[in-house]
Amino acid sequence: MKTVFSVLTVVAGIVVIWYLACVPMNIKGVLDQAQRAGEKVVPDTANARRDAAALGLVAKNTFAINRVWSVDRPRLPAPHQVVTELWQTTVMKKVTSKRSLIYHAHVTLSATLLGFALGTGLGILLSVGIVHSRVMDMSVMPWAIVSQTIPIIALAPMIIVVLYSIGVQGLLPKAIIAAYLSFFPVVVGMVKGLRSPDQMQLDLMRTYGASGGQLFWKLRLPSSMPYLFASLKIGIAASLVGAIVGELPTGAVAGLGARLLAGSYYGQTVQIWSALFAAAILAGLLVALLGLVERTLLGRMGVKS
Amino acid sequence: MKTTSQVDSVPNAAQPVIEARALNLVFGSGATSVQALKDINLTIDKGDFVSFIGPSGCGKTTFLRCIAALETPTGGSLTVNGMTPEEARKQRAYGYVFQAAGLYPWRTISKNIKLPLEIMGYSKAEQDRRVAEVLELVELSGFGGKFPWQLSGGMQQRASIARALAFDADLLLMDEPFGALDEIVRDHLNEQLLKLWARTNKTIGFVTHSIPEAVYLSTKIVVMSPRPGRIHEIIDSPLPKERPLDIRDSAEFIEIAHRVREGLRAGHGHD
């Protein structure tokens, strides 16, 4: 109960700050509109207003304050505008409609999940190699780290262009970008996890004359599970970011990234914000789902939670 | 009292379980090298309960690890059942109990005991039979389905002993198995270990810091001294095989304990 209260307090605080921020952000637009409608505004030219401080404009034109939360194309949409847009583009639209956020989320989610599966698989394979081979440890790990220092926004168009030139398009290029972001936390976490058994546990397996395979399946892999899930939670969120970024450079027509892009072309800030929220909610659901799988699996493995 | 000797206590034709001759082990090389074991000569016969006692750095654990082929000696010879330690391991000659129970937290007690059996390829039915048998032996019947964290420290250590017993090794190597437990639990486990030893007729190599523990349990006490790790004295215990806890108040017991203490003090004087 106490936690619920604390969480609600923080949420309420954020909403209040958001509403307050709408005032200086949107005041110029509101005043321009008011002037066009023939109302008296201080100062009375758009040029003068452009250079004026936002808070000063608010002080001089208090009559306009209550309009900043219902602007048609606001710089910063008010929370209720975003919620209304979310409601209308999810519940009120058929999921097959091109304007349904659920449809767009589904497109992005497919690429996210495929990319996540590819990235996790690659990450686990690499970590197994790194743990078992010193050569791989020395040679692969630096490249894995370097790969993550390149901004994905620079790399994504190249990946898409290169794949397009060899005839691959659609879901796969986006999934590969998602995989590119999600394999790294899995590699780092699994290397740590596979190396987590202490010397005594390794010695114990040696006294049984365990083979390398037995050592891996019976000791290293089970030991690494808590690390794997921590990595997967980071990985799936990174995957979603990758899928969205993958939709930007192609001018894709479907997906949350496409919604973001279209929104920014046409100045539809409400649409941008609702797409952002859809992405955030989606990421939250995916991470929560992984948490559920983690609790079930580790619970069955007898790990105290 | 018998005098100390490094001669086999039973000079019969039976093959010794462990035989170390001029065993040396040096860690590292050059200026930073450490002589962990120096000229170790020791014979352990079948059915012996041998304790290794000495201060930190005297090489008692290292010697046990050599027997288990976890360390490789740099000189001399060491045989286990007449074979090299590596070969003996492949023959499943020994079970090893570490200071910490080291049970896998994701396996139940039964599954933990099955671990060596799975690795060694016993059949499912045989695994179940043996688990039930050793659980009974360490008085943990009924706890097989529990996870390690649900058991006390003493019970966990008993489970780890059961795990070492499960595959019928004749030799049990124990590295300070009760070192982390409190006195009362330790007394109880010592008593149980003696019973188990009497029932199974195993040979036991036992590393400890505790003089009363060493005297209470052993037929042979190996007093070691540090830097370099070597055997200072080997004391054969005249105590009978049947040992109630109050034997520790007998004059004989106190006499041996005194000799061990004297030996430890003299050994320490060397450095």
Least confident of B115-119, B137-141, B171-175: B137-141
Residue B10 has pLDDT above 70, yes or no: no
Q: What does the pLDDT read at residue B8?
A: 41
Residue B270 has pLDDT above 70, yes or no: no
Confidence tier at B12 by pLDDT (50, 70, 90):
very low
Q: What does the pLDDT read at residue A20?
A: 93
Question: If interface means Cβ-Cβ distance under 8 Å, which residues of chain B face chain A?
Answer: 68-70, 89-90, 92, 94-96, 98, 100, 102, 104-108, 115-116, 118-120, 147-149
Mean pLDDT of chain B: 83
Which domains are seen in chain B, by residue range? Answer: 4-93+169-268 (3.40.50.300)
Alpha helices in chain A (DSSP H): 2-36, 46-51, 54-60, 79-90, 101-132, 134-147, 152-165, 171-194, 199-207, 212-215, 221-247, 256-265, 269-300
Mean pLDDT calculated for residue range B73-81 = 85
3-state secondary structure of A190: helix
β partners of residue B207: B52, B175
Q: How far apart are CA A129 and CA A241, in angstroms?
A: 27
Residue B9 has pLDDT above 60, yes or no: no
Q: Give B-chain residues touching A305 at CB under 8 angstroms.
A: none
Residue B100 has pLDDT above 90, yes or no: no
Q: How far apart are CA A3 and CA B190, in angstroms?
A: 50
Instruction: Give me the residue label for tokens 């899928």.
Output: A243
Mean pLDDT calculated for residue range A168-184 = 90
B96 closest CB neighbour out of A207, A214, A225: A207
Q: What is the CA radius of gyration of chain B?
A: 19
Confidence tier at B102 by pLDDT (50, 70, 90):
confident
CB contact under 8 A, B115 and A301: no
3-state secondary structure of B19: strand
CB A239 within 8 A of CB A116: yes
**Type of residue numbered B221:** I
CB contact under 8 A, A222 and B147: no
Q: What does the pLDDT read at residue A22?
A: 92
Taking residue B87's Cβ as centre, other Cβ atoms within 10 Å add up to: 14
Q: What does the pLDDT read at residue B72?
A: 86
B119 closest CB neighbour out of A200, A214, A304: A214
A200 closest CB neighbour out of B69, B95, B100: B100
The residue of chain B with its CA nearest to that of A218 is B115
More confident residue, A297 or A15: A15
A206 closest CB neighbour out of B70, B102, B118: B70
β partners of residue B231: B224
The residue of chain A with its CA nearest to that of B120 is A208
pTM of the model: 0.80
3-state secondary structure of B202: coil
Q: What are the C-alpha distances in Å from B212 to residues B41, B197, B269?
A: 24, 18, 22
3-state secondary structure of B201: coil
Q: Give A-chain residues touching B96 at CB under 8 angstroms.
A: 203-204, 207
Phi-psi region of B238 (alpha: psi -120 to 50; beta: other; left: phi over 0): alpha
Q: What does the pLDDT read at residue B246?
A: 82
Query: CB-based contacts of A221: which residues, under 8 Å, 6+ apart?
Result: A194
Q: What does the pLDDT read at residue B269?
A: 55
Q: Give B-chain residues touching A204 at CB under 8 angstroms.
A: 96, 98, 102
Q: Of A188, A205, A296, which Cα lies nearest the Cα of B104?
A: A205
CB contact under 8 A, A207 and B106: no
Q: How far apart are CA A101 and CA A98, in angstroms?
A: 8
Least confident of A212-216, A229-233, B91-95, B265-269: B265-269
CB contact under 8 A, A302 and B147: yes
Q: Give A-chain residues touching B105 at CB under 8 angstroms.
A: 301-303
Q: How far apart are CA A102 and CA A94, in angstroms?
A: 9
Q: How far apart are CA B115 and CA B134, in angstroms?
A: 13
3-state secondary structure of A253: coil
Q: How far apart are CA A195 and CA A132, in angstroms?
A: 10
Confidence tier at B6 by pLDDT (50, 70, 90):
very low
More confident residue, B113 or A305: B113
Alpha helices in B74-175 (DSSP H): 85-90, 109-120, 124-137, 153-165
Q: Of A142, A96, A158, A129, which Cα lies nearest the Cα of A220?
A: A129
For residue A12 the two structure tokens come to: 């309420």
Q: How far apart are CA B162 and CA B146, in angstroms?
A: 15
Q: How far apart are CA B58 and CA B270, in angstroms?
A: 12
Question: Of A198, A202, A203, A204, which to mutate for an interface test with B (greatest number of B Cβ within 10 Å)?
Answer: A204
B-facing residues of A in 199-258 (CB < 8 A) are: 200-201, 203-210, 214, 218-219, 222, 225
Q: What are the C-alpha distances in Å from A15 to residues A2, A34, A77, B234?
A: 20, 26, 12, 79
Q: Give B-chain residues touching A296 at CB under 8 angstroms.
A: none
Query: What is the share, in percent, of chain B residues with pLDDT greater than 90?
Result: 12
pLDDT tens digit sequence for B187-204: 888 888 888 888 888 899
Query: CB-based contacts of B218: which residues, under 8 Å, 6+ apart?
Result: B49, B50, B51, B206, B237
Q: How far apart are CA A42 and CA A49, in angstroms?
A: 8
Which domains are seen in chain A, by residue range? Answer: 2-75 (no CATH), 101-301 (1.10.3720.10)
Least confident of A38-47, A109-118, B93-102: A38-47
Q: Of A281, A279, A259, which Cα lies nearest the Cα of A270?
A: A259
Q: What does the pLDDT read at residue B11?
A: 42
CB contact under 8 A, B104 and A222: yes
Q: What does the pLDDT read at residue B24?
A: 82
B105 closest CB neighbour out of A205, A210, A303: A303
Q: What are the C-alpha distances in Å from A145 to residues A122, A129, A137, A180?
A: 15, 16, 12, 12
B149 closest CB neighbour out of A209, A225, A304: A304
For residue A90 the two structure tokens come to: 């999810």
CB contact under 8 A, B105 and A302: yes
CB A262 within 8 A of CB A99: no
Sign of CA pseudo-dihedral B260, B261, B262, B266:
positive
Q: Of B228, B250, B231, which Cα lies nearest the Cα of B36?
A: B228
